[in-house]
């Protein structure tokens, strides 16, 4: 799914459904939750998050904490926040494959007595909701970092020294760069509507208070502008770039307008 907001809205909806479910209906919503977290668009990030993690070894180590009293067991979380997040993702996928073990897991580590529905709700509140929140932050941060790195790499590829180059330019939406090393004058011909949207994005971004976030967002807008100036802008590339911008309502509105116009 290219639209991250839609994906995470569906994840949140599954969480809401789990909070209202009974022990008889919980599994359906949990499986939806697990399937969304394993969406193909997240495959690379999930592989990176879970590399070298062993959920079975984690559960075995956790089981050794259980004493004679009900509710004494504790999950053996590692110190690394990313490792915790990766193990939580693996736990969700494990119980999606083995839903019969989910209730025992909830009873062992999220005990509220023998109230099965209550224990599943406890699992949702204490594990699944915090995990979904942190997982979304992780995905957004990784993708924004990737976009910023791509923009920086593209800028570095221009070169560090002046050179005299003759360009033969033709076609629609041509782009001309004068003095193309940093401090350059860029003339980019894009449609009037797109120009208005790009200018609007820059105005909104200028109002952001976080300096680093503002700088990264500006680099993304520059990359979007460059893509729109090509003869055949890639809707997928533009959408991916725009989805990496800060989640502000006015930015979302302008981004949607740009994508709709492609």
**Structure confidence by residue, pLDDT tens digits, 124-153:** 999 999 999 999 999 988 887 765 555 555
Average pLDDT of the residues in 46-50: 95
Confidence of residue 173 (pLDDT cuts 50, 70, 90): very low
Q: pTM for the complete prediction?
A: 0.58
pLDDT for 119: 94
Average pLDDT of the residues in 233-246: 87
Average pLDDT value over all residues in the chain = 83
Cα–Cα distance, 35 to 21 (Å, whole number)? 18
Q: Is 159 helix (H, G, I), strand (E, B) or coil?
A: coil
Query: How far from chain centre, in Å, is Cα 177?
Result: 33
What proportions of the chain, in percent to the nearest 5, are helix, strand and coil? 65, 5, 30
Question: What residues have CB less than 8 Å from 178, skipping those under 6 apart?
Answer: 184, 185, 186, 187
Q: Is 207 helix (H, G, I), strand (E, B) or coil?
A: coil
């Amino acid at each position: 799914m290219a639209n991250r907001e839609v994906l995470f809205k569906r994840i949140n909806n599954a969480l809401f459904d789990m909070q209202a479910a009974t022990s008889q209906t919980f599994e359906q919503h949990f499986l939806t939750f697990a399937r969304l977290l394993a969406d193909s668009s997240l495959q690379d990030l999930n592989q990176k998050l879970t590399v070298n993690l062993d959920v079975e070894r984690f559960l075995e180590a956790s089981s050794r904490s259980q004493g004679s009293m009900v509710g004494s067991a504790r999950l053996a979380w590692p110190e690394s926040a990313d490792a915790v997040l990766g193990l939580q993702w693996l736990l969700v996928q494990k119980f999606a494959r083995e839903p019969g073990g989910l209730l025992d897991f909830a009873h062992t580590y999220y005990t509220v007595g023998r109230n099965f529905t209550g224990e599943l709700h406890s699992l949702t509140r204490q594990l699944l909701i915090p995990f979904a929140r942190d997982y979304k932050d992780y995905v957004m941060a990784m993708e924004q970092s990737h976009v910023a790195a791509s923009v920086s790499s593209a800028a570095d590829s221009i070169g560090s020294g002046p050179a005299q180059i003759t360009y033969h330019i033709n076609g629609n939406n041509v782009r001309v760069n004068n003095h193309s090393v940093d401090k350059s004058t860029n003339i980019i011909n894009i449609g009037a509507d797109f120009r208005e949207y790009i200018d609007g994005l820059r105005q909104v971004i200028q109002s952001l208070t976080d300096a680093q976030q503002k700088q990264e967002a500006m680099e993304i807008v520059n990359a979007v502008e460059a893509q729109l100036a090509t003869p055949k802008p890639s809707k997928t590339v533009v959408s991916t770039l725009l989805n990496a911008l800060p989640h502000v309502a006015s930015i979302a509105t302008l981004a949607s307008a740009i994508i709709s116009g492609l």
